[in-house]
Structure 1
Amino acid sequence: MTNRPAEPTAVRTDLGAIFVSLELSRSSWVVTALLPGGGEKMSRHAVPGGDIAGLLDRFSQLRDKAQARTGRSFPIIVIEEAGLDGFWIHRALQKQGIESHVVDPASIATSRRRRRAKTDRLDGETLVRTLLAFKRGEPRVCAMVRAPSPEDEDRRRITRERKALIAERVEHVNRIKGLLLAQGIRGYEPLHRNRRARFEELRTGDGRDLPPHLKAQILREIDRLELLLNQIKAVEAERDRALAAEPQDREAPAAAKMLLDIRGIGPEVAAVLWSEGLFRHFDNRRQVAAYAGLAPTPWQSGAVSREQGVSKAGNPRLRSTMIQFAWLWLGHQPDSALTRWFRARVEQNGGRQRKTAIVALARKLLVALWKYVTSGVVIEGARMKPTAA
């Protein structure tokens, strides 16, 4: 008989490493591995969730199995999706000398069928194939997440905690006003300093004293509100100390203080811009806009060509802060080139599409601030704060 050519395999089998994917959940971790010498068949194993020692033992068994098959020792390359577990597993694997990659799960191509099969087995195999394609150098196969250092990750806590506290403050204020409105009381401001004295003077819309249980409930709400106000002051003081600190590693405080020199930028905006985005290294302005989710997303097919708006695929905190700051920029920097561009753009559209134009302004403003922080290029026409004598 003539020798028949070997049928092509769906997965490359001449491997130089052990490729492993992790499907992480609270109860268990599913390990899917493709070993050299085993063809295209992938093996699956389960490890209790959070058991990093058990995971490393499983990796050791996979390495011994591959060596028994081929007589060679292979490195392990791991891929896991970014999720609720953060980056501690990634850092633990790197500490053990294991090459680890964190992938954005939304960047992995999936079937567009209305109903598609989805299991941990299929997801694990998809991750392994994605890792193989990434290591082969295929372009745009996925988007790998660059894990921040523990110091950079911890620096974000200040602004994120303040945002959470502000949201809680709004809830308490609205709850107090809602309870009083049901009794016909308007105009009470829980955030005023004389809130307790003013509260004792309140009468219902029909002239009665506040019911005792309602009064006790609102007083407890005021107690919680005052606790939140003290916590917000403490967080803001910690933020200001960090901004005023002497330049340390990578000149982080110095770069953040550069933002404070521009009129219209306060401590909160400067802290958010630096800790959420500008501390990173970017090669060009497109990467800056894409990281904030402000990059355009064109739709083109044949004769059809249109814009779908911004991608919203980046850091949501940085994006929302930039859009809010873009509105403030118009008032604080009326003579800047960016403000003149915005006004000309809106006037060209007959005064319409201001929201669309403000998103474009936010993108241009973020790129301009990135150039200012990294290269010292001052925004054209921007006014700086007066220096203290």
Structure 2
Amino acid sequence: MSIPSHAAVSTQLNAIFVSLELSRSTWLVTSLSPGRGKRISRHQVKGSDMPAFLERLAQLQAKARERTGEQYPLVIIQEAGLDGFWIHRCLIREGIESHVVDPATIAASRRSRRAKTDKLDGEALVRTLPAYKRGEPRICAMVTVPSAEDEDRRRVCRERRSLVVERIWHVNRIKGLLFAQGVGDYEPLRTNRRAAGGTSHR
């Protein structure tokens, strides 16, 4: 799999293609719009500021309309990550086409030793999107977005797994510290842990 080249991106775009790179402080908005040839635009909005992001999208549409005299729909792409799917759901509610991509399926160079930057990633994403919409095979794989309820259940399961791992670490550390003091029969998880074992103490 390879990154779509600049030549592979059609100059006759039928939509405004936008990639969104997320961080806590800022969102990087990279766009490819009709009437600008192959030129990429980049803007930043404050992280998690959905109204500011929607305003930026409206500005992209207005500028495309000024250049071409036509109104173009928006197509957004973002990576599946720790932010979950709330942004995708907000965009869908606004009537905006949104896709969440599995980052492991995009462009082999993303796995190379070259330094990862938002600028490179945003451009790779936004140039991948028109190819995906044209139906080019093996260009990337989109994630099936779960319902909000299913996402909440998955989050609870992930949090439980993390807590179980943390508990095991603490139990092993307690047992190790006690063993170094000659207490070898103490089981921290037993309800009768203080009464059991001849060397345990209250």
Where in structure 2 are the equivalents of 1:193-342 lying within 5 Å?
193-198=191-196, 202=199
* Cα displacement string for residues 48-70 of structure 1 (whole angstroms, at most 9, x for unaligned residues): 11111100000000000011111
Query: What does residue 154 of structure 1 align with?
Result: 152
Alignment of 1:1-389 (within 5 A): 9-111=7-109, 116=114, 118-198=116-196, 202=199
1:281-338 Cα distance to aligned partner (Å, 9 max, x none): xxxxxxxxxxxxxxxxxxxxxxxxxxxxxxxxxxxxxxxxxxxxxxxxxxxxxxxxxx
Q: d(CA) in 2 for partners of 1:49 and 1:121?
A: 16
Is the CA contact 1:81–1:105 (under 8 Å) kept in the aligned structure 2? yes
What is the DSSP-based 3-state SS (H/G/I as helix, E as strand, rest coil) of the residue aligned with 1:195? Answer: coil
Distance 2:56 2:72 in 1: 15
The one-letter amino acid of 2:199's match is L
Taking structure 2 as the reference length, the TM-score comes to: 0.87
Question: How many Å apart are 1:10 and its aligned residue?
Answer: 4.6
AA matched with 1:173: V
Contact 1:103 1:144 in 2 (8 A): yes
* Offset, 1:82: 1.1
What secondary structure sits across from 1:102 in the alignment? strand
- Which shifted more, 163-172 or 15-24? 163-172
Counterpart code for 1:91: R
Name the structure with the higher helix share.
1
Instruction: Check whether the contact 1:10–1:40 (CA below 8 A) recurs between aligned residues.
Output: no
Q: 2:19–2:29: 8 Å Cα contact kept in structure 1?
A: yes
**Could you say which residue in structure 1 is the equivalent of 2:3?**
none
Change over 3 Å in CA distance of 1:70–1:112 after alignment to 2 = closer
Give the Å deviation of 1:157.
4.1
Partner-residue secondary structure (3-state), 2:30: strand
> What is the CA distance between 1:17 and its match in structure 2?
0.6
Letter in 1 for 2:9: V
Alignment partners' CA distance in 2, 1:100 and 1:114: 27
SS at match of 1:197: coil
Q: Percent identity?
A: 64
**Aligned mates of 1:144, 1:112 — CA distance in 2:** 16
Superposition TM-score, scaled by structure 1 size: 0.47
Q: 1:112 to 1:88 in 2, by over 3 A?
A: closer
Residue identity opposite 2:48 in structure 1 = G
**3-state SS of 1:175 partner:** helix
User: Aligned equivalents of 1:104 and 1:180: distance in 2?
Assistant: 46
Bigger CA radius of gyration: 1
* 8 Å Cα contact 1:107/1:143 also seen in 2: yes
Shift of 1:87: 0.8
Stretches of structure 2 that go unaligned for 5 or more consecutive residues are 1-5
* Secondary structure at 2:194 match in 1: helix
CA shift, 1:85, in A, is 1.2
* Contact 2:88–2:99 (CA under 8 A) maintained in structure 1: yes
Q: Matches of 2:155 and 2:117 in 1, distance apart?
A: 35
The DSSP-based 3-state class of the residue aligned with 2:62 is helix
Report the AA paired with residue 162 of structure 2.
Answer: A
Alpha-carbon distance in 2 for matches of 1:154, 1:148: 10
Pair 1:55–1:114, CA change in 2 (3 A):
closer
| Cα distance change, pair 46–159 in 1 and its aligned pair in 2 (3 A) | closer
Unaligned runs of 5+ in 1: 1-7, 204-209, 211-218, 220-389
The number of equivalent residue pairs is: 197
